[in-house]
Amino acid sequence: MNIERKPPTMTHEEMVAKMLEDPEVRAEYERLEREEFAILDEILAARREAGLTQAQVAERMGTKAPAVARLEAALVSGKHSPSIGTLRKYAKALGKRLEIHFVSP
């Protein structure tokens, strides 16, 4: 069986723009922009500041590089929230400590 693949009818940017026309999708996207992406940015900035690769962080955490990649990716996808214990290990591997604060909106 030979299945012919058709080229996409939209670019990625066009597809995202179309999806963001839905108010519910836009609201969730904006929530992620504010919350989860900010956490990811902070985590990646801390790793860059420490000058460490995912493999080096993993070694210091006592795990493998794919686990660190999954941790970082989880914050983007929103499918999985890392535990506080895992975030503490990550922070310690970077020579930092984890602090969590509640702030007024």
Q: What is the pLDDT along the chain (105 residues), one digit of tens a residue?
A: 677 777 668 787 888 889 889 999 888 877 777 666 778 888 889 999 999 999 999 999 999 999 999 988 887 776 777 889 999 999 999 999 999 888 887
Q: Is residue 2 part of a domain?
A: no
CATH of the domain at 36: 1.10.260.40
- Total domains, the chain: 1
| The dihedral formed by the CA atoms of 49, 50, 54 and 58, expressed in degrees to the nearest 10 | -150
75 within domain boundaries: yes
Distance CA 5, CA 75 (A): 33
Q: Is residue 7 part of a domain?
A: no
Which among 39, 102, 97, 33 has a CA at the least distance from the CA of 72? 39
Q: Which domain holds residue 82?
A: 12-93
Q: What is the pTM of this model?
A: 0.65
